[in-house]
Amino acid sequence: MRARSALIAFVTMFSAILAGLAAAPASADPVVLAGKYVALGDSYASGTGAGSYGDSGGCKRSANAYPQLWANANAPSAFSFVACSGAVTTDVLNNQVGALTADTSLVTISIGGNDAGFASVMTDCNLGSDSDCVTRNQQAQTYARDQLPARLDAVYTQLRDRAPDAEVVVLGYPHIYVLNGDCTLGLSETKRAAINGSADVLAEVTSGRAAAYGFTFVDGRTAFSGHEICAAGERWLNSVTWPVDESYHPNVAGHRDGYYPALEAVA
């Protein structure tokens, strides 16, 4: 008798639970896995070269860019994607840091290459002689060592002041070329080595300033290793392409298989 009563009580309780579940709204709020995320920076952050720019105009913010991929996978409570093609450090200060608030929990940024003039470096190396290319890279490297640190400090100070509790991840630039690689046409090895040398200087300067602020640095050279232009396998960077401003930028695979997993590993 007692067993029968216990069984009836259990069935009654289970039925009530099922009824409660059935009464739950069909469109429950989405699960939030992360706090507010703000993505800042230049064309390497906006995804120029990876297509699918929506209504972002000249900023060329791609649906395939690493910030959007991270947001898709981690469902932040809010997402501000304000990186813009062509941005320099002053553009970040004037037009982007306003997206940061005290409750921001993650900030990513790629910046500095345009300050040092690497768009014009690539133009000069494509149109000029080996010596012209080497000289232009040396000029850019000197700027990166002497002038860029103060510009990065101005940006990084704003990041820390405006989002004091945020994790900040600084993503660096990759090598553009595999040296002595699988290219039969294009720039000479002398030019390719000079361009890669500039990427090394940028990484040295940027990682040093990021460390001074306690930020995490993601080395783009490591993230893209074996997939640069002239790699034997899949290449994650555009060579000269059209539109020309998308040349020497990460393609869809570069963001999906290069930058995104490197960011996911640390954020």
Residues with catalytic function: 43, 249
Contact at 8 Å (CB) between 41 and 109? Answer: yes
Could you give the 3-state DSSP secondary structure of residue 109? strand
d(CA 14, CA 10): 6
d(CA 126, CA 58): 24
d(CA 137, CA 57): 30
226 contact partners, CB below 8 Å, separation of at least 6: 178, 233
Contact at 8 Å (CB) between 66 and 259? Answer: yes
Q: Provide the β-strand partners of residue 218.
A: 171
Q: Kindly provide the b/e burial profile for residues 116-149, where b requires at least 16 CB atoms within 10 angstroms of the residue's own CB.
A: bbbbebbebbeeeeeeebbebbebbbebbeeebb
d(CA 68, CA 49): 14
